Amino acid sequence: MAEAPRIAVCSANNLVVRYGTHAVLDGATVTILEGDRVGLVGRNGSGKSTFLDIAAGRTKPDSGEFTRRRDLVTGYMPQVFDLDDSGSVEANILSAAQRLLDLIAAYENAPAASASSAQLLEAINHADGWNLESRVKSLITNLHAPEARRIVGSLSGGEKRRVALCRALLARPDFLILDEPTNHLDTGSIEWLEQFLARYQGTCMFVTHDRYFLDRVATQIIELAGGQFRSYEGSYTDYLLARAQRQSVEEMQEKKRQKFLKRELEWVRRGPRARRTKSVDRIDRYFEMAAQ
């Protein structure tokens, strides 16, 4: 029996983003499907973080369109993030679950056995709301974040980053976006994060310089180069093999093109009379190939 087609979580269509005269996104188009774990790769400065900002709804492209599935809940940990320095570690992490906390408060104040009470209970159960406290403890423990009572303003940059990661993971959004999630994590924490994302029920997109993490987690690689996206199914290793094969084919095609141009240039230099249709067509073809 054929698998049901997966739903598109979001899609980018002809995105353009310029910094001065340089376009980091230049008519870029891509679609991300439900359940994908997308590793976004590209050279430094290629526009990866810019695209994550667009996908998270924090910024807009100069032109083009980014569309999301209706009611899509997105969570984002950017490289530069905001925390409440006056609050505790626990309070900052729990801020990601404010909607869930509001549901719990509403349920506790709703009339017993009412329709609204039943709806609230279903929403809380679906979000695993009754285990919120234990989930916070688990995140702090497994990501080696500072203890829950510590004030965020007293933490180092690396400690704050672990708190921000805990906050992003607690929310369990439909679409989780992470920019360099393994920064400042030890080996044990990285391994736990790999397992967490491998079991993640939603869709995930991330940027990382940790190639081992990328290979273990990603089920799809999106390459950003020259302002354009190119998608590859599979792990990072699969991507490297597919890209090498594509480049080999392109190199072979380029050699054939150069060989053709050399042969045609010699023919042009011999000065054929171009009055005949075949001669005109041949010259036109030469200039078409030369322009590629």
Residues 113-163: tens digit of each pLDDT: 787 888 888 888 888 888 999 999 999 999 999 999 999 999 999 999 999
In a domain, 248, yes or no: yes
Mean pLDDT across 173-199: 96
- Which pLDDT value is given to residue 275? 45
Angle at 272 between CA 269 and CA 277, to 5 degrees: 130
Are residues 67 and 94 located together in one domain of the fold? no
Question: What is the C-alpha to C-alpha distance for residues 87 and 258, in angstroms, rounded to an integer?
Answer: 65
- Which pLDDT value is given to residue 125? 87
Residue that is last in its domain, among 234, 251, 268: 234
Are residues 158 and 91 located together in one domain of the fold? yes
pLDDT over 90, % of the chain: 65
Structural domain for 137, as ranges: 85-162
Instruction: Output the CA–CA distances (angstroms, integers) from residue 152 to 142, 162, 177, 201, 262, in the order listed.
Output: 18, 11, 23, 30, 67
For residue 48, pLDDT beyond 90: yes
Total domains in the fold of the chain:
3
For residue 186, pLDDT beyond 90: yes
Residues 204-220: tens digit of each pLDDT: 999 999 999 999 999 99
Are residues 68 and 190 located together in one domain of the fold? yes
Residues in the chain: 292
Residue with tokens 């974040």: 145
pLDDT-derived band of residue 87, with 50, 70 and 90 as boundaries? Answer: very high
